[in-house]
Amino acid sequence: MMDDTHKRCSSHLKPRVRQGVFIADMDPNTLAVRGLGAFHSLSDADVTEGNASISPDSRFLAFKRGTAGNPEKASLIVRSLENKTELEIKTCGQMVFNGRSFWLPDGNSLFVIAPVTNGGGCLGSYNAQTGQLLNQPVNVSTYLLSFSSALSPDGKLLYTVSGTTLLGTNVTLFAAVDPLTGQLSEPFHLPITDLQPAPPQTPIFGVSPDGRSAAHIRGAATPNATLVRYETNGADRHFRPLFVAGTRMRGVAWSKDGSRILFAVSEDGFKWRIIQIPSEGGNPTFTGLEVTGLGSFELNRDNTQIVFDGTWFEMSVPGPYTPPPAPLETAQPTTNSPANGSDGPVTLGQ
């Protein structure tokens, strides 16, 4: 049961003017939010922070920090949650950081995908405590940078998804990148048609703990968003609908045992409630966390914490979630879509 101190979180914090990073404690068994955790942004109003990721041992937090006057020229910050020290990492030979970072399984290093000033982008791994580059950065196409990305549980593949047009039909491409070499697997396309694809880098999918399945938000930016599931190896190129939101949707996180999937829903695109469902589909449950201006969120390895960014948040008693009436459009595969056929390879970057 949540105590009154954390019911609204307004007794000791004030709403931020701009995006900030927060950590909340969770019950690892029910995934219900229990109260404010070990860190929250206290930076001044001219600073924005987001795209946060917590290390596997929950000792460090990596996030992007920018200024209101020039939000696109941000820095990658690694903060120790134990002694509060911070390290600014110079990624790909530049101080400007406009990409994403992912913790590798060892908990000591970060994998970074970021654009560079002379065009294109790079992939690189860095020591999270010293900022030292661990491998020669790999150049990649800027097209890849616009994808929504997730690192596989073993840290060996960067999964990416992007909407594109194939034979006059909007489809979704799914591919995997080797972080060390930048080699791209042959992408496969799914029978997921999005008339209004989500903006670039919107968090719309997450990979299961065993790496075999992906949960993907179809139509994330529309009021008809639907959570679907498919296999990451491309053997089965069809998807299975899990939840029709009847709202906008963003962010996907799996529980540590793969039994549940968390995501955020919003009727107005402003306030987002984080809910969960069984990974095979079923009744949704509200975690108790509502975030204003949500950017992204993720769970730590043992599911005792959730890290998220937004301008404000409220915590209330968890319980059943009742979605709005289901939209007329469903998540069934389009039978005449070329993605259901045996088309040849799809070339990226065209």
The pTM of the full predicted model, rounded to 2 decimals, is 0.83
Q: What is the pLDDT of residue 301?
A: 92
Q: What is the pLDDT of residue 288?
A: 95
Could you state, in order of their start, the residue ranges of all structural domains in the chain? 15-318
Q: What is the pLDDT of residue 121?
A: 72
- Domain 15-318 matching CATH 3.90.79.10: the answer reads no
Grade residue 335 by pLDDT with cuts at 50, 70 and 90.
Answer: very low
Residue 128: C-alpha distances to residues 23, 87, 107, 114, 132 (Å): 19, 8, 8, 16, 8
Grade residue 11 by pLDDT with cuts at 50, 70 and 90.
Answer: very low
Q: What is the pLDDT of residues 292-321, one digit of tens each?
A: 999 999 999 999 999 999 888 899 999 999
Q: What is the pLDDT of residue 303?
A: 95
> Phi and psi of 5, rounded to 5°?
-60, -35
Spatial CA neighbour of 17 closest among 53, 41, 51: 41
| Cβ atoms of 8 and 289 closer than 8 Å | no
Buried b (16+ CB within 10 A) or exposed e, 88-107: ebebbeeebbbbbbbbbeee
Q: Which two tokens stand for residue 243?
A: 């939840």
d(CA 21, CA 54): 11
| Cβ atoms of 272 and 287 closer than 8 Å | no
Grade residue 112 by pLDDT with cuts at 50, 70 and 90.
Answer: confident
Q: What is the pLDDT of residue 255?
A: 96
DSSP secondary structure, 137-200, as one string: -EEE-HHHHTSEEEE-TTSS-EEEEEEEEETTEEEEEEEEE-TTT-PBPPPEEES---SSPPPT
340 has a pLDDT exceeding 60: no
